């Protein structure tokens, strides 16, 4: 990570647009474990919504991601990459669950069909 007062010096020199996320946990030790969720969907019609990720280890311990504040757009056969964070780290993942939500109370319920998915730890890239 970068010290909060020096982040611009690190990110601005890059020629491509860069998004910076400075999320921390509200619980001690205040760190977040970040993952990149890479999804290719199968739905014929466009879906727009939010994905929550829950991971479980072999002992049954679970941790759920924080809901992203921005909705993602999912199109057929298009890859979408979502940054997601957890308050605890799960070393050996046994199960991954995804929940798709449009955050609307009125209207039809939509399913998001996943063709391919990859969850990569950004804190431990070899996982």
Is residue 20's pLDDT more than 60?
Answer: no
Pairing relationship of beta strands 114-121 and 33-41 according to DSSP bridges: antiparallel
Domain limits, the chain? 26-121
Q: Radius of gyration (Cα) for the chain, nearest Å?
A: 16
pLDDT tens, position by position, 36-68: 899 999 888 888 888 889 999 999 999 998 766
Higher pLDDT, 94 or 122: 94
The H-or-E segment that residue 97 falls in is strand 93-101
Q: Name every residue whose Cβ is closer than 8 Å to that of residue 126 and which is 6 or more positions away in sequence.
A: none
Give the CATH class of 26-121: mainly beta
Banded model confidence at residue 88, pLDDT cuts 50, 70, 90: confident
Identify which of 54, 48, 89, 90 has the alpha carbon closest to the alpha carbon of residue 70: 48
């Amino acid at each position: 990570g970068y010290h909060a007062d020096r982040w611009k010096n690190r990110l601005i020199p890059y020629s491509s647009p860069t998004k910076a996320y400075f999320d921390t946990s509200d619980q001690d030790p205040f760190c977040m474990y970040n993952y990149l969720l890479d999804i290719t969907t199968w739905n014929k019609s466009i879906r727009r919504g939010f994905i929550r990720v829950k991971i479980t280890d072999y002992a049954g311990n679970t941790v759920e991601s924080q809901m992203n504040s921005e909705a993602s757009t999912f199109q057929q056969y298009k890859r979408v990459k979502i940054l997601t964070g957890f308050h605890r780290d799960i070393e050996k993942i046994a199960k991954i669950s995804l929940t798709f939500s449009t955050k609307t109370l009125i209207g039809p319920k939509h399913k998001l069909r996943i063709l391919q998915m990859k969850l990569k730890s950004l804190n431990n890239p070899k996982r």
